Amino acid sequence: MKRRKFINKAIVASLATPALAVSACDQGKKKGNELASINMNFNKNFRWKMVTTWPPNFPVVGEGCKLMADWIEEMSGGRMKIHVYGGGELIPALECFDAVSNGAVEMGHGVAYYWAGKIPAAQFFGAVPFGMNANQSNSWIISGEGGKLWEEIYEPFGLLPITCGNTGIQMGGWFNREINTLDDLNGLKMRIPGLGGKVFNKAGGTAVLVSGNEVYTNLERGVIDATEWIGPYHDYKMGFYQVAKNYYYPGWHEPGATLELLINKSKLAELPKDLQEIIKTAAYRLNDWMGAEFDAKNAVYLDKLVNEEGVKLKEFPAEVLDSFKFYTEEAITELTDRDNTSKKVYDHYNAFRKSLQGWSKISDQAYYDKLT
């Protein structure tokens, strides 16, 4: 009898609260739908486009983008395929930012200082004259919360930036005449982007921004008198030694140029979680690969330029470097005084750089000064 009464009460209670039963049923259906959606997405194939600021099939940076596409396809089991376009193949090289932002393509590859006209603070994520080298820049972005600031300033454009390569310290550039004093820069037209270009203007020259596939022709025809590009390997491949014999160092303007992967955030959110992580992981792999490839290739091709092609390797005079450093501080002050975001980013960048100095002096610097 007691058992019968208990069962009857339970039946009455369930009839009195049908919403609970319906709710449980709905939740079950919802979870089932979610699982079905996940399974559909997992089995779905995705085809993306990547545009770059580099000439088609350009060594290291361009081929690195294609390597990354191959890695993503392999890691995803063929579910994710990315077609890589060099600058000018699908859109002009310097329109990558807009193309990814407006969703015309899903991703792009370039350097943040190319977008200085849209986001002045972006320059600090590309390269800062007399600033941090490649390892230090990676540390700031990946482990020093610089990456969070980067994402913050790209957020209004619907973009996610990821560090995706670094050239290491570059060469100072090719000049069609010797630079012995600061006066030798007066009126000299040089292809040099970013903050380095602003410094060059202050030093008496004229900075010109052109895409990579136009640099050789402009130098050959006298449209520009000098150019920086990357380092010995690329400079050899570009043939700059054929039209300018004075090859200067050090690369004061880009001690460690960070390359970036731009991803449209809305497009990224449409991907299954595993594909999102595969893309990010591939970007970090490319970041490591590029740094190693640049060091390996530059050593070989510097020797070729000097000993096979008769290039005159020259160091910038101390007077010129001191002036560049003075004008760098002036250019950064002007930028941060008129743009609050630039001030916020640079203050963070500079504080991190200073925090590394004590360790750098007794590690890297001491090693090179004392042991090599």
pLDDT digits over 222-257, tens only?
999 999 999 999 999 999 999 998 999 999 999 999
Helix axis angle, 273-307 to 61-75, nearest 10°: 150
Interval 279-292 mean pLDDT? 97
- 36-54 pLDDT tens trace: 444 556 679 999 999 999 9
Q: Are 247 and 241 in contact (CB under 8 A)?
A: yes
Interval 134-159 mean pLDDT? 98
User: Is the per-residue pLDDT at 20 higher than 60?
Assistant: no
Domains contained in the chain, CATH given: 44-166+256-295 (3.40.190.170)
- 52-69 pLDDT tens trace: 999 898 999 999 999 999
Q: Using CA atoms, how far apart are residues 316 and 314, in angstroms rounded to an integer?
A: 7
Q: What is the pLDDT of residue 372?
A: 84
Strand pairing category for 173-175 and 226-227: antiparallel
Q: Are 164 and 263 in contact (CB under 8 A)?
A: no
Interval 364-370 mean pLDDT? 92
User: Is the per-residue pLDDT at 197 higher than 60?
Assistant: yes
- 298-331 pLDDT tens trace: 999 999 999 999 998 999 999 999 999 999 999 9
**Tell me, what amino acid is at 189?**
K
Rg of the chain in Å (alpha carbons):
27
Residue 315: helix, strand or coil by DSSP? strand
Q: If pLDDT is split at 50, 70 and 90, which confidence band does 12 have?
A: very low
Q: Please, is 51 exposed, middle or buried when counting C-beta atoms within 10 Å of its C-beta (0-12, 13-18, 19+)?
A: buried
CA-angle at 239, arms to 237 and 240, nearest 5°: 120
Q: What is the pLDDT of residue 43?
A: 78
Predicted TM-score (pTM) of this structure: 0.86
Q: Using CA atoms, how far apart are residues 100 and 143, in angstroms rounded to an integer?
A: 26
User: Is the per-residue pLDDT at 192 higher than 60?
Assistant: yes
Candidates 196, 183, 178, 187; CA nearest to 251 is 196
User: Is the per-residue pLDDT at 258 higher than 80?
Assistant: yes
Q: Are 189 and 326 in contact (CB under 8 A)?
A: no
Q: What is the pLDDT of residue 363?
A: 95
- Segment 159-162 long-range contacts (CB within 8 Å, at least 24 positions apart): 159/97, 159/100, 159/101, 159/262, 159/263, 159/264, 159/265, 160/262, 160/263, 160/264, 160/265, 160/268, 161/112, 161/125, 161/260, 161/261, 161/262, 161/263, 162/260, 162/261, 162/263, 162/280, 162/283, 162/284
User: Is the per-residue pLDDT at 16 higher than 50?
Assistant: no
User: Is the per-residue pLDDT at 4 higher than 60?
Assistant: no
Q: What is the pLDDT of residue 40?
A: 56
